[in-house]
């Protein structure tokens, strides 16, 4: 294996390396200089080695939108946790719970944005990303408590898709 010069190091994702370093420090529960140095070496090495696994490069166009999206997603996850807990505990007041599938046409074309949307949907309790048709760009979503398809289409297209398009496209 040949360590590349400056050109090879450009392939190292600083975001990935920083994320790996933070994860290392959190798992070790310390900010000791030795652990920081080991974590930094491992993070940079793993980010460099994984560059061949990521043929598509992502570019974040609007980082300011990412902070707002993160806050929105965290609030939605909290709200969904409460709603799912109410369903599981039977605290829905006799209302019939109907789960089902929703088809949502997406304008989001960037694969990194679609992956971020998949993570958002799947991390939100009560929803699961089922499929994305590559030909029609239609997302199939499973919802635990499906009251109205149009509401879910508005949530995805209004709350998440514009921010993700601004960040990735």
Residues in contact with 143: Cβ distance below 8 Å, sequence separation at least 6, in sequence order: 99, 100, 101, 102, 126, 127, 152
Written as six digits, the tokens of 141 are 């979503």
- Show the beta-strand stretches assigned E in 48-150: 100-105, 127-133, 138-143
What digits encode the pLDDT tens for the residues 105-127? 999 999 989 999 999 999 999 99
CA dihedral 145, 149, 150, 155 (to 10 degrees): 50
List, in order, residues 6 or more apart from 82 with CB less than 8 Å away. Answer: none
What does the mean pLDDT of the chain come to? 89
pLDDT in tens, 19-42: 999 999 999 999 999 999 999 999
pTM for this prediction: 0.73
């Amino acid at each position: 294996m040949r360590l590349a010069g400056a050109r090879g190091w450009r392939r190292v994702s600083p975001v990935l390396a920083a994320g790996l370093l933070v994860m290392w420090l959190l798992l070790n529960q310390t900010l000791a200089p030795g652990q920081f140095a080991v974590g930094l070496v491992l993070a940079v090495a793993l980010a460099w080695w994984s560059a061949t696994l990521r043929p598509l490069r992502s570019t974040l166009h609007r980082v300011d939108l990412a902070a707002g999206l993160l806050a929105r997603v965290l609030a939605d996850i909290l709200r969904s946790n409460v709603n799912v807990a109410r369903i599981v505990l039977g605290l829905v007041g006799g209302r019939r719970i109907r789960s089902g599938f929703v088809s949502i046409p997406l304008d989001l074309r960037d694969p990194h944005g679609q992956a971020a949307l998949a993570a958002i949907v799947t991390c939100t309790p009560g929803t699961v990303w089922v499929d994305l048709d590559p030909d029609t760009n239609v997302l199939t979503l499973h919802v635990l408590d499906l009251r109205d398809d149009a509401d879910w289409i508005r949530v995805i297209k209004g709350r998440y898709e514009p921010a993700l398009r601004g960040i990735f496209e």
